Structure 1
């Protein structure tokens, strides 16, 4: 019995694969994207600190709405940090996964 991967064929394969260094300025673009990612991570750290402070302030003062907003902000900031940190690995994983189809 053949597996699904053995029976899966593309209707038309244009033969195009990603190539590093094909365009001028690629190193600059990589540097810009890396810097944007770093700024995003720094912003998330600040957002997490503020959200945790709001959560603690709301808890100790009895402000249930502030406490809930702090929890929500902390959760969103943690998710954003996870996404920013894992973005490169996620793209690399799915990029390699697509090249395994014959």
Structure 2
């Protein structure tokens, strides 16, 4: 039995795919920029002895890494679910 979602069943689905791809690109670009800025702030604050600023920079690095991981994991999870549905 071959079960696969019908991506062509709705009109405008190609536009929705393009929008989703563009949003994913923006999320990843913003996550990388946030990672760079937070890492620089963390390094400068740690070098000058500003431990409060260093802690905020470290939190920014962790949040940006988490956002990038969640964005990539969402795509991977969706592809896994589609492959799993095809096996049923």
The TM-score normalised by the length of structure 1 is 0.74
Q: Residue 4 of structure 2 contacts residue 82 of structure 2 at CA under 8 Å; is this kept in 1?
A: no
- What's the TM-score once normalised by structure 2's chain length? 0.85
Gaps of 5+ in 2: none
2:36 alignment counterpart: 49
The gaps in structure 1 that reach 5 residues or longer are 1-15
The 5-angstrom pairing of residues 1-102 of structure 1 reads 18-97=5-84, 100=87
Alpha-carbon displacement from aligned partner over 1:31-54 (angstroms, at most 9, x marks no partner): 001001101111111110111011
RMSD (Å) for aligned C-alpha atoms:
1.8
What is the total number of aligned residue pairs between the two structures? 86
Which structure carries more helix by proportion?
2
- Flag the structure with more relative contact order, 1 or 2, with Cα contacts below 8 A and sequence separation at least 6: 2
Instruction: Find the aligned partners of 2:73 and 2:4 in 1 and give their Cα distance.
Output: 23
Shift of 1:95: 3.9
Higher mean displacement: 60-69 or 80-89: 80-89
